Amino acid sequence: MERSAILELGRKELGELLAKGHAIDAAALDDTEYRGISLGLPNVIERLSWKTFQKTFHRDPATGALRGWNVRIEQRGLDAPSVPLRRKDGLPHTFGHYRVVPLGRTPQPCGPGLLIHYGLGGNRRLDPMSRLRDPIVALEAGSVERLLGWTYVDLGPRQVGTPSYFLLEREGKLSHVAHPQR
């Protein structure tokens, strides 16, 4: 399915696409960057936040864990190269650190994939993002070029879905290793 067709899908169709998704070889994500495009949110919410972002994946040599973080990027349109917003120290503005783990039970049908788990990302204590979980699936069998994700909130005994879906398109090799700020 072409990107333009995915961008036109409503939440119901995005959910169906997520349920039909394919497994992801976690090792294929090692040390990569993906351009993210928010899907399924009302336009007013996107205008208040962002339409595009970057997600990274890094295999930690000390632990062997696959981890990552989000990078705020300049909102330059869907086809413009990602340009990270910079902090005062010149480093990319990162947030929402996570670990990538096997996919377990989710509150909505999901094909075999992986789970981006913000609660294991080493974020600041009491960071509300620690309750977020993003199941991700490959859109094509055997390929990690294009992934689809969805966000839900893990409240312990209860999991609550959100209207937030996202498309990830592989951009290239990891350009910077970030560490959570505590």
Q: Is residue 129 part of a domain?
A: yes
What is the pLDDT averaged over residues 160-173?
95
In-domain check, residue 143: yes
Tell me, yes or no, whether 180 lies in a domain: no
Task: Give the CB-side neighbour count of residue 150, counting CA atoms within 13 A.
Answer: 28
19 by DSSP, 3-state: which?
helix
Q: Per the domain annotation, does 178 fall within a domain?
A: no
Q: Are 134 and 107 in contact (CB under 8 A)?
A: no
Number of domains in the chain: 1
Please give the helix or strand (H or E) that residue 39 lies within, else none. strand 32-39
pLDDT of residue 45: 64
What pTM was computed for the model?
A: 0.93
d(CA 36, CA 105): 24
> Which domain, by its residues, includes 73?
3-173
Write the pLDDT tens digit of every residue in 54-72.
999 999 999 999 999 999 9
- Buried/exposed 81-111: b ≥16 CB within 10 Å, e otherwise: ebebeeeeeeebebbbbbbbeebeebeeebb
pLDDT of residue 153: 95
Q: What is the CATH number of the domain that holds 161?
A: 2.40.128
Mean pLDDT of 76-100: 90
